[in-house]
Amino acid sequence: MSPETASAVVKRLAAECGFDRCGVAAAEPIGRADYLRAWLEAGRAGSMAYLHRHFALRTDARNLVDGAKSVIVVALLYRRPQKAPTATGSAEPRGRVASYAWGDDYHVVVRERLRTMVDRLRELHDGPFDARTCVDTAPLLEREYAAAAGIGWIGKNTMILDHELGSFFFLGAVVTTLEIAPDEPLEDRCGTCTACLSACPTNAFPAAYEMDASRCISYLTIERRKEIPAGLAEKCGDWIFGCDVCQDVCPHNRRAPASREPRFAARLPCPEPALENVLNWTRDDYRAHTRGSAMRRATLDMFQRNARMALENHERGSRSANMIT
């Protein structure tokens, strides 16, 4: 199978497995390794110490698989056509959950499809080859390889953007010893737009194309184990798990298609759990509500910390509104 034929076969299989986009990058060092090193040294990763480990693996796919020649990158939409209904119609204070965590755990869904794709590829390819699937847990900078593979460009909010798909999609990758013709990167189409930078409540973007993760609401509510600093907590609003603000305001998401994956449909208590309910969760409640969900990334203590924060912000907002009226 020639590299060009392999590319066509891989993309056909990716489509048959339900992926919304597929591209291929050469298995070579990423172009922004120096930027990543400087970013880490500047403390932009906050308390995410794991990002400092395995630097060589993160920046060169060949260190993940001996003899690797290609990185297949896929995208799977999770955007919902409209906001899901809440459990009740009451006006009780509610928190918000980032839309990527509304349904089943994307790690499981994307990995299942990737493994099916690789199995079918083995059936069609003459001779053995090595392949490792990666879905946000292996030390691989999937975003960098996605940009190299033409899935999208890295936008000013540091997320992968595409003028057709938008940015509400998951990435998965296969590092393989197969030689597959690589795709061309896409042109950056952010232009002069700075909507994402201006909309960030915590000013997590010190400059375009650069994020200070230690100020990001997603980091604060999901990755930070300690109490959230008061100055940042007040700006987190009602978010209790993740944040969608910089994606919601992006023009490229206005007409982006919705996900076709039923397992990403919202399930209760998403997308807006009642804050008092979360504060009263027992260990069993927490396990029941987060079972099979990406929300399991945050502990019960973190959820309740976030709920207290969101409730305080709600009460602070109510007092301010009353003073104005």
How many other C-beta atoms lie within 10 A of the C-beta of residue 287?
Answer: 12
**Range list of β-strands (E), 179-299:** 239-241
Cis peptide before 257 (omega within 30 of 0): no
Q: Would you state the structure tokens that stand for residue 245, as one six-digit string?
A: 């603000």
136 is catalytic: yes
User: What distance in Å separates the CA atoms of residue 199 and residue 288, rounded to the nearest whole number?
Assistant: 34
Q: What radius of gyration do the chain's Cα atoms show?
A: 21
Judged by DSSP in three states, 134 sits in strand
Buried-exposed string 98-117: b where 16+ CB fall within 10 A, e elsewhere: bbbbbbbbbeebbbebbeeb
User: What distance in Å separates the CA atoms of residue 27 and residue 212, rounded to the nearest whole number?
Assistant: 28
CB half-sphere exposure, 262, CA atoms < 13 A: 0
Catalytic residue among 60, 136, 188, 285: 136
Tell me the CA distances in angstroms from 206 to 91, 126, 200, 213, 318, one per residue in order: 36, 50, 11, 10, 30
Backbone angles phi, psi at 162, to 5 degrees: -140, 140
Tell me the CA distances in angstroms from 185 to 36, 131, 147, one per residue in order: 20, 23, 6
Catalytic residue ranges: 136
